[in-house]
Amino acid sequence: MNTPAKPLDDEHTRTSLSKDALNRAFLDNLFYLRGRFLEVATDDDLYQAAAYTVRDRLLERWIRSSRLYKESSARTVCYLSAEFLLGPQLMNNMINLGITEVAREAGEMLGMDFERILETEEEPGLGNGGLGRLAACYMDSLATTQIPAIGYGIRYEFGIFDQVIIDGWQVEKGDTWLRNGNPWEILRPKLVFPVGFGGHSEQYTDEHGVVRQRWRPELVVNGVAYDTPIMGYGVDNVNLLRLWRSEAPESFNFGAFNVGDYYGAVHAKIEAETISKVLYPNDEPEAGKELRLKQQFFFVSCSLQDMIRLELANAGTLERFHHKYAIQLNDTHPSLAIAELMRLLMDEHRMQWDQAWAITRESCHFTNHTLLPEALETWPVELFERLLPRHLEIVYEINRRFLDEVRVHFLNDEARVARLSLIDEAGGRKVRMAHLAAVGSKAINGVAELHSELLKTTVMKDFNDLWPERFHNVTNGVTPRRFIVASNPELAALITETCATDQWVRDLHCLSQLEPHAEDHALQQRWRAIKTNAKRKLSNWLGERTGFAPDPETLFDVQAKRIHEYKRQHLNLLHIVWLYEQIKQNPNIDLTPRTFIFGGKAAPGYFMAKLIIKLINAIGEVINTDPQVNGYLRVLFMPDFNVKNGQRLYPAADLSEQISLAGKEASGTGNMKFSMNGALTMGTLDGANIEIRDEVGHENFFLFGMTAAEVQHRQITGYQPWEFYQHDEQLRAAIDLISSGLFSHGDTELFRPLTENLIHHDPFMVLADFDDYRERQREVDHAYKDPHHWDRMSILNTTRMGKFSSDRSINDYAERIWQVKPMPVTLQA
Q: Which residues bind ligand F58 (CB under 6 A)?
A: 128-131, 134, 282-285, 369-370, 375, 447, 476, 665-669, 687
Does 333 qualify as catalytic in the annotation?
A: no
**What angle is formed at CA 245 by the lines to CA 242 and CA 246, rounded to 5 degrees?**
140
**What angle is formed at CA 35 by the lines to CA 18 and CA 96, rounded to 5 degrees?**
30
The DSSP code for 9 is P
Does 778 qualify as catalytic in the annotation?
A: no
CB 688 to ligand F58: min, Å: 7
CB 524 within 8 A of CB 795: yes
Q: How far apart are CA 296 and CA 279, in angstroms?
A: 11
3-state DSSP call for residue 186? strand
Amino acid at 211: V
Q: How far apart are CA 204 and CA 402, in angstroms?
A: 26
Q: Which is nearer to ligand F58, 283 or 306 (CB)?
A: 283
CB 293 to ligand F58: min, Å: 13
CB 279 to ligand F58: min, Å: 9
Q: How far apart are CA 691 and CA 665, in angstroms?
A: 13
CB 310 to ligand F58: min, Å: 28
Q: How far apart are CA 1 and CA 246, in angstroms?
A: 31
Q: Which is nearer to ligand F58, 305 or 809 (CB)?
A: 809
- In our burial notation (b when 16+ CB lie closer than 10 A, e otherwise), range 440-462 reads bbbbbbbbbbbbbebbbeebbeb
CB 156 to ligand F58: min, Å: 12
Q: Which is nearer to ligand F58, 53 or 669 (CB)?
A: 669
For residue 680, list its beta bridge partners: 655
C-beta atoms surrounding 747 within 10 Å: 11
The DSSP code for 158 is B
Does 561 qualify as catalytic in the annotation?
A: yes
Where does residue 637 fall: left (phi above 0), alpha (psi -120 to 50 degrees), or beta otherwise? beta
CB 676 within 8 A of CB 479: no
CB 288 to ligand F58: min, Å: 14
CB 649 to ligand F58: min, Å: 17
DSSP assignment string, 306-348: HHHHHHHHHHSSSTTHHHHEEEEEESSTTTHHHHHHHHIIIII
Tell me which of 369, 432, 482, 575 is the catalytic residue.
Answer: 369
Does 669 qualify as catalytic in the annotation?
A: yes
The DSSP code for 651 is G
Q: Which is nearer to ligand F58, 454 or 534 (CB)?
A: 454
CB 473 to ligand F58: min, Å: 12
Q: Which residue is nearest to ligand F58 (CB)?
A: 130
Amino acid at 761: H
Q: Which is nearer to ligand F58, 552 or 668 (CB)?
A: 668
State phi, psi for 28 to the nearest 5 degrees.
Answer: -60, -50
Which helix (H) or strand (E) segment holds residue 159: the answer is none
For residue 239, list its beta bridge partners: 230
DSSP assignment string, 691-724: HHHHHH-GGGSEE-S--HHHHHHHHHH---HHHH
The DSSP code for 157 is S
- Pick from 670, 659, 640: which is nearest to 780 by CA? 659
DSSP assignment string, 473-513: E----B-HIIIIIIT-HHHHHHHHHHHTS-GGGT-GGGGGG
Q: Which is nearer to ligand F58, 605 or 824 (CB)?
A: 605
Q: Which is nearer to ligand F58, 284 or 453 (CB)?
A: 284
CB 60 within 8 A of CB 828: no
CB 175 to ligand F58: min, Å: 16
Q: Which is nearer to ligand F58, 29 or 296 (CB)?
A: 296
**What angle is formed at CA 757 by the lines to CA 753 and CA 762, rounded to 5 degrees?**
155
Q: How far apart are CA 543 and CA 534, in angstroms?
A: 14
CB 336 within 8 A of CB 434: no
Q: Which is nearer to ligand F58, 106 or 814 (CB)?
A: 814
Burial class (CB in 10 A: 0-12, 13-18, 19+), 546: middle
CB 692 to ligand F58: min, Å: 12
Three-class secondary structure assignment of 578-613: HHHHHHHHCCCCCCCCEEEEEECCCCCCCHHHHHHH
Q: Which is nearer to ligand F58, 531 or 562 (CB)?
A: 562
Tell me which of 562, 594, 634, 792 is the catalytic residue.
Answer: 562
Tell me which of 669, 681, 684, 798 is the catalytic residue.
Answer: 669
CB 404 to ligand F58: min, Å: 32
Q: How far apart are CA 140 and CA 142, in angstroms?
A: 6
3-state DSSP call for residue 226? strand
The DSSP code for 554 is S
Q: Which is nearer to ligand F58, 285 or 678 (CB)?
A: 285
Long-range contacts, stretch 288-293, CB < 8 angstroms, 24+ apart: 288/379, 288/380, 288/383, 290/383, 290/387, 293/379, 293/383, 293/384, 293/387, 293/388
Q: How far apart are CA 790 and CA 699, in angstroms?
A: 11
CB 447 within 8 A of CB 138: no
Does 245 qualify as catalytic in the annotation?
A: no
CB 275 to ligand F58: min, Å: 16
CB 290 to ligand F58: min, Å: 16
Does 322 qualify as catalytic in the annotation?
A: no
Q: Which is nearer to ligand F58, 129 or 705 (CB)?
A: 129
- Strand pairing category for 364-367 and 443-446: parallel
Q: Which is nearer to ligand F58, 492 or 690 (CB)?
A: 690
Q: Which residues are part of the catalytic machinery?
A: 369, 561-562, 567, 669, 673
